[in-house]
Structure 1
């Protein structure tokens, strides 16, 4: 299988590193070809703190994905999080040289490039420049300015910023693992791709991705990204609390949290205990599930208070900015029993658990159903978007090139314009067959449109 036929998402998390290989099927859904997972040994709270261990973990996950998919992986879309991430709002504009010509993608990119030149704090670098709405001359609140005419093009932007050192460390780990980086994407944005619906983004929703080392938040309203942030606490700190509170080893603390943990102590019985085996001949230890839930509750309430603070910072409790769709909880931490009820109580918003397999067509074994795969599937979706866009651009360039060649031939042979167009189409199809026997995404759309009009005639 050739590289252009599939895409890869690589989630470098605090507890695990996941590589997912997939492609888009004929119905537009994702077909997962292979999954690789390895324990993350060199990442703490979303930040790489051991280069060698992180490279080793990436290689292990990628090799497993290659083996299960039967392909060679060379290019990946990578997620980034960590406590160093922050966001800001910024407005900027450009004056167009030719206002008589309509606005194109090039104008939008020129405006984005201008924003990317913003001076940040020492050691910081811009990761994302996300347009929220546009203004053309005196006309504001425009969602899509392409095709319009105007001299002054202005936009409000959501700018995501991170520490240069942390970004460079991720890039280095990926490259030294023998991979090319296709794109670097903020993890809550990737998670939102895989678990949120368009209706939720329109109505107003906050995605809260509780990972091992961080809790990532992204807020959408009117289908526009409004706020992003990373809280430096996740499921890992709950495990640490259980370890200290119950005086047990980390392995047993993690198992206790996953199998018996609850976010609401009142729903646990006083008489229910679980036995932990003693170390090296020491006596077994009995732990009350109510006491376990109290330890978990204290930390998860702290995390939810921080989520509340971010919701207030955005203005989610104001009437105009109200999140009608509430909160979507995802990430491995959202598997915690009774977390949804506690989130409802503490935030005042309705919440649901966001499962990431909605867009996956071949997950019959439910392997990817868990919310812990939300980010990695979102990164795969982002990679597929990038590939689709590049194929459309490539197709357009190819059409122009073939058309120019055909025009020259046609002029020499004095054929009619209709015959020339037929000649161009034939050459495009022939060129496509030579490139692998299948039409690209953009070409397939052109073929479907052409077939539709032929049937109408």
Structure 2
């Protein structure tokens, strides 16, 4: 596989997307090929039928290969699903020698300490994101490296998930004949694709309304502050239409996409859609007003749950205020008048996010649809991973490594560089998680 090409695999509840992309000379992402297939075997973001999921992944991958003339071997996969939850946690370490400055190893020690938190059975920490540090009680420190201090503490945003669900996704990828290159949290991937750096600084809540789940990621001061996965998405709206109008799912989905609106006020009483009856039965007549009432009721429920999570983050406090408001993305964000409804319920500025922030200018309209936000984000994540690998390899070639020094710290992180050399980024927990899942799958065969 060429080094500058990355593949994102978005395993969703309604669709599976394989997307191939590379960086062009302007640093933008160029999408070379895309494949999608109907997702069978995934429920609310969690795999519940391995065989069907494998078939769907293979179908999407083949289509992407055909449309791009590239062979897919490695993929970056997103994890979401109702088992993901997040919590806030503070922890501290006391440094043995406060005469030396705080370095990378102190931070790794502090982060490793968070990993000792006791979780519910079957749960594992996926992500540990430092929010802000305190050194000897001095608060609001963004970057403590290089400072003097005896006690280093930090607030952490800890994301927790069920390890079996993550392994199942790894299993599906591997059984589809692909290598797992990386695992990323889906709300993070979508956020990277549709948000600008300014929005993340100012404070913004990204709501990704998918088929089976709605993901939330809250950013402030450029750092992710809160994540949540709500186990409702576009599917429950379709389900309600199906029940409410006594029609089959396919018709309900089409009705929602073509005529659906989240705001019942605008439809006149006499606007009617006629739906062909099943084999020999009379056609059904449905008023658009009733249709949008059904949709409205469910959408309000979803948004209110998301709003509870935004309040949990604490956006009403002055310094946690989300100045950039809300960005909606995902397939569900294409519902007519959803923006107005979200603004009405939350009182926050809202826009629909398209993943064209980082895409090359000549990208296909299809690719820049909010439907593909997560897939684009996963491709970007894969490309970033390649760049990090290159940087690490370059750094490794530049320095002679002292053998015994190497022995103890190799697994934690790259060695402390000479000050003037470019420093490889700290390896994220998702990289470590990916390795753990890979090891598990290799040993489980």
Question: Is the pair's TM-score, using the shorter chain for normalization, greater than 0.5?
Answer: yes
Range with bigger deviation, 270-279 or 141-150: 141-150
Query: Which protein is bigger by CA-based radius of gyration?
Result: 1
| Greater share of helix | 1
Range with bigger deviation, 85-94 or 357-366: 357-366
Report whether the alignment pairs 1:76 with 2:61.
Answer: no
Secondary structure at 1:269's aligned position in 2? coil
Supply the distance in 2 between the matched residues of 1:149 and 1:59 (Cα, whole angstroms).
53
Q: Where do residues 269-280 of structure 1 align in structure 2 (5 Å cutoff)?
A: 269-280=268-279
Unaligned runs of 5+ residues in structure 2 are: 402-423, 425-445
**CA offsets, 1:207-231, max 9 Å, x none?**
1110000111111122221111111
Supply the distance in 1 between the matched residues of 2:55 and 2:96 (Cα, whole angstroms).
51
Report whether the alignment pairs 1:284 with 2:296.
Answer: no
Supply the distance in 2 between the matched residues of 1:182 and 1:84 (Cα, whole angstroms).
22
Supply the distance in 1 between the matched residues of 2:116 and 2:362 (Cα, whole angstroms).
43
Q: Give the corresponding residue for 1:54.
A: 53
C-alpha displacement of 1:93: 2.9
Q: Give the corresponding residue for 2:36.
A: 37
Instruction: Note closer, same or farther for the CA distance 1:25–1:131 as it changes in structure 2 (3 Å cut).
Output: same
C-alpha displacement of 1:242: 0.5
Q: Where do residues 206-355 of structure 1 align in structure 2 (5 Å cutoff)?
A: 206-355=205-354
Range with bigger deviation, 384-393 or 139-148: 139-148
Asked whether the 8 Å contact 1:32–1:362 carries over to 2, the reply is no
Supply the distance in 2 between the matched residues of 1:70 and 1:200 (Cα, whole angstroms).
36
Instruction: Note closer, same or farther for the CA distance 1:182–1:218 as it changes in structure 2 (3 Å cut).
Output: same
Q: Give the corresponding residue for 2:409.
A: none
Q: TM-score, structure 1 length as denominator?
A: 0.84
Asked whether the 8 Å contact 1:132–1:158 carries over to 2, the reply is yes
Instruction: Note closer, same or farther for the CA distance 1:364–1:166 as it changes in structure 2 (3 Å cut).
Output: closer
Range with bigger deviation, 108-117 or 5-14: 108-117
Supply the distance in 1 between the matched residues of 2:23 and 2:95 (Cα, whole angstroms).
38
C-alpha displacement of 1:236: 0.2
C-alpha displacement of 1:20: 1.1
Q: What is the Cα-based RMSD across aligned positions, in Å?
A: 2.0
Supply the distance in 2 between the matched residues of 1:384 and 1:369 (Cα, whole angstroms).
18
Instruction: Note closer, same or farther for the CA distance 1:250–1:34 as it changes in structure 2 (3 Å cut).
Output: same
Instruction: Note closer, same or farther for the CA distance 1:30–1:102 as it changes in structure 2 (3 Å cut).
Output: farther
Q: Where do residues 137-216 of structure 1 align in structure 2 (5 Å cutoff)?
A: 137-216=136-215
**CA offsets, 1:368-405, max 9 Å, x none?**
12111111111111111221111111111122259xxx
Q: Give the corresponding residue for 1:367.
A: 366
Supply the distance in 1 between the matched residues of 2:109 and 2:24 (Cα, whole angstroms).
34
C-alpha displacement of 1:281: 2.4
Supply the distance in 1 between the matched residues of 2:382 and 2:149 (Cα, whole angstroms).
33
Q: Give the corresponding residue for 2:415.
A: none
Supply the distance in 2 between the matched residues of 1:7 and 1:33 (Cα, whole angstroms).
10
Range with bigger deviation, 330-339 or 128-137: 128-137
Asked whether the 8 Å contact 1:357–1:363 carries over to 2, the reply is no
Asked whether the 8 Å contact 2:134–2:154 carries over to 1, the reply is yes
Q: Where do residues 416-455 of structure 1 align in structure 2 (5 Å cutoff)?
A: none
